[in-house]
Amino acid sequence: MTSVSADDGAQPQKRTSSFDINAFIARNLRLLPVPGLEDIQLYTAHSGSRLSRLGGTDPDAPAPYWAYGWGGGAVLARHIAENPHLVRGRRVLDLGTGSGLVAIVAAKAGATSVVAADIDDNAIAAARLNATANGVEIDLVHADLLDGAPPAVDIVLAGDLFYDEALAKRALAFLETCRAAGIDVLIGDPYRVPLPTEKLRCIAEYFVPDFGLGSDGAEVRAGVFSLAAVPGR
């Protein structure tokens, strides 16, 4: 996944403990319909969002991926919206939720419960605001779940987790553990290089916007993949 650069040229400032991320998002991002899912609105970055301020002076601050549209989440959200039976009446984990798009669509599709997890506390704030804007309730978890035990859910949805080799290996190991525990797994990705296609079965394809691969405004081909049960695990 491409890194997100500062969009206003301003020097980042040190964030204080009183910094209000909710107010920042509401003030600096625009609540816009999601392409292809116009009944969903998300707080979305634009040229005047000044997202460089979010990292402050911390060189390790996570890039604000949650403020942009990515192909993996978009393709999963489209597929679930068109096939609500996949999550209806089921407990759902949206792994690496970002903006919360997939979690929101799952909640609207009738999931019994939706847990949305992310390692970026700003993403958690954005997902909470987006859920409220769309009139759904989701449980937000600010944590790295990849080294933990399989969660108490029926299905794991994982969009855009295969953009980095190291992360891809960790994500695959966790998802295989979930699958071995009897949990269904669906992965959304626009065929990035680290995607382990040899272990996946593509069940659907859509052309969707992607901030990284389709930065010129063009849509990209993205797939929804199932993960088979792992023998002997």
pLDDT tens digits, one per residue of 127-168:
999 999 999 999 999 999 999 999 999 999 999 999 999 999
The pLDDT of residue 216 is 60
**Which residues 6+ apart lie within 8 Å of 33 measured at CB?**
39, 40, 41
2 in a structural domain: no
Q: Which domain holds residue 150?
A: 71-227
How would residue 51 be classed by pLDDT, with cut points 50, 70 and 90?
confident
Q: Write down the pLDDT at residue 215.
A: 60
Band (8; pLDDT cuts 50, 70, 90): very low
Q: Are residues 32 and 91 in the same domain?
A: no
Q: Are residues 132 and 60 in the same domain?
A: no
Tell me whether residue 7 is in a domain. no
- 43 close to 30: Cβ distance less than 8 angstroms: yes
Residue 4 maps to a domain: no
Looking at the fold, whether 96 and 149 belong to one and the same domain comes out as yes
Out of 34, 67, 100, a domain closes at: 67
From CA 97, how far away is CA 26, in angstroms rounded? Answer: 19
In this prediction, residue 217 carries a pLDDT of 60
pLDDT band at 35 (very low <50, low <70, confident <90, very high): very high
Average pLDDT along the chain: 89
For the residues of 65-94, what is the DSSP string, one character each?
Answer: GGGS--HHHHHHHHHHHH-GGGTTTSEEEE
**Residue 32 is assigned to a structural domain of this protein:** yes
* Cα–Cα–Cα angle for 114, 139, 196, rounded to 5 degrees: 55
Same domain, 28 and 110: no
Q: Does 205 map to a domain?
A: yes
Is there a domain that residue 138 lies in?
A: yes
Query: Is 21 in contact with 122 (CB distance < 8 Å)?
Result: yes
Strands 139-142 and 113-118: parallel
Q: What percent of the chain has pLDDT over 90?
A: 77
Summarised one tens digit per residue, pLDDT across range 85-113 is 999 999 999 999 999 999 999 999 999 99
**Which residues neighbour 70 within 8 Å (Cβ) at sequence distance 6 or greater?**
1, 98, 159, 160, 210, 211, 212
